[in-house]
Amino acid sequence: MKTILLHSEIPGAQKFQEVLEAETVGFRVALSIDEVAPEDVEIAIIWLTVPDYLQRLPNLKLILVCGSGVDSIIHATTLPRHISLVRLVDPFLRDRVSDYVIKSIQNHILSRKDYFELEDTSDLTIDNISFPKLTVGIMGLGLVGEATAKKLLALGFNVCGWVRTSRPRALPQVYVGKAELGDFARKSQILVCLLPLTNQTQGILNCHLFDQLPDSSFLINVGRGDHLNEADLLSALDSGKLSGACLDVFKVEPLPADHLFQSHPKITVTPHIAGGLVPEQQATYAARVIACHYRGEIPPGVVDFHASY
């Protein structure tokens, strides 16, 4: 029988298995390579690492990766390059990250009484509050980035985006490539990083970029910790170039209790909570992607091995 092999270390693997079995027809879902005949496995679902057993599956047709990032697996020598690799960026995950970004922006604005015409933010009420027309610059317009942009536009923010490669986007104002990064930065009063981590984006949140932002800009990083040059951020905050930062991802996780970010008055730290995998949501979305694949369609989230995301 055609088999889906689910990596046992995926959070909530048993619930994932239960939901996926209920929502797929004609497939068995297994949690261990020892439970199956390798030739029966057509789909593998993995997370964070590439299991060695992938190379022992002669009829493997599709690999699904839980969550939004593939930076931890894309360069693994055991990852087959000839098989479609798809990120499971389910709608719940997109909403969760985009909502985190919006709440972070709103919290930042409410802490800055200079954004309002009122002399004192204690005078704010539900009737007179109005968010100023700030420009939010989003780095990375994948599934999560586009969802975030749409919500911000609906709330009345100006939104622009920056991407590495040119293709049709759902956002009217998009800057492309290194040549246009400076123009993008100069517009971004609030900078949101939702980029995939690649060799080209590692360390992209640095002093060169910060220097091109408007004065007193605000940074939100929900991409990866390695996008950020930590020393450059501290310098930009201490000089006043940046008014603050909200960070959900770090080079070392969990962030050590004695890290400078933990006590910095201009930095809000959260412990990588913007996303998170919900097994029921991931399984339901995986079933949709599998059905899409077997209809001969290209599902959202297909990884480009050349681009590394």
Is the residue at 123 inside a domain?
Answer: no
Q: pLDDT tens-digit profile of 138-150?
A: 999 999 999 999 9
Pairwise CA distance, residues 206 & 278, whole Å = 33
Supply the CATH number for residue 215's domain: 3.40.50.720
| Gyration radius (Cα) of the chain, Å | 21
Residues 180 and 52 in one domain: no
What CA–CA distance (Å, rounded) separates 81 from 303?
10
Q: Which domain holds residue 262?
A: 132-269
| Among the listed residues 149, 156, 158, 269, the one whose alpha carbon sits nearest the alpha carbon of residue 221 | 269
305 within some domain: no
Question: Taking the alpha carbons of 101, 140, 289, 13 in that order, is the dihedral positive or negative?
Answer: negative
Say if residue 265 is in the same domain as residue 291: no
Determine the 3-state secondary structure of 77 from DSSP.
coil
Let me know whether 284 and 211 are in one domain.
no
Residue 169 located in a structural domain: yes
Q: Examine the domain organization and report whether 40 and 146 are in the same domain.
A: no
Residues 177-197 pLDDT 10s:
999 999 999 999 999 999 999
Residues 264, 283 within the same domain: no
Q: What angle do CA 143, 74, 14 make, to 5 degrees?
A: 75
Residues 230 and 136 in one domain: yes
Task: Say how many domains are in the chain.
Answer: 2
Assigned token pair, 170: 């759902």
pLDDT digits (tens, 9 = 90+) for 292-302: 999 999 999 99
Looking at the fold, whether 255 and 290 belong to one and the same domain comes out as no
Query: pTM for the complete prediction?
Result: 0.93
Domain membership flag for residue 69: yes
Asked if residue 251 belongs to a domain, the reply is yes
For residue 135, which of 158, 113, 119 has the smallest C-alpha distance?
158
Q: Could you tell me if 165 and 255 lie in one domain?
A: yes
Residues 59, 153: one domain? no
Is residue 307 domain-resident?
Answer: no
Q: Which positions are catalytic?
A: 224, 272
Q: For the chain, 309 residues long, give each residue's pLDDT as a single digit of tens.
A: 999 999 999 999 999 999 999 999 999 999 999 999 999 999 999 999 999 999 999 999 999 999 888 999 999 988 999 999 999 999 999 999 999 999 999 999 988 766 655 555 566 565 555 666 899 999 999 999 999 999 999 999 999 999 998 888 889 899 999 999 999 999 999 999 999 999 999 999 999 999 999 999 999 999 999 999 999 999 999 999 999 999 999 999 999 999 999 999 999 999 999 998 999 999 999 999 999 999 999 999 999 998 899
As a whole number, the mean pLDDT across the chain is 94
Do 283 and 220 reside in the same domain of the chain? no
Residue 111 belongs to some domain of the structure: no
146 and 200 within one domain: yes
Is 56 within the bounds of a domain?
Answer: yes
Do 160 and 33 share a structural domain?
no
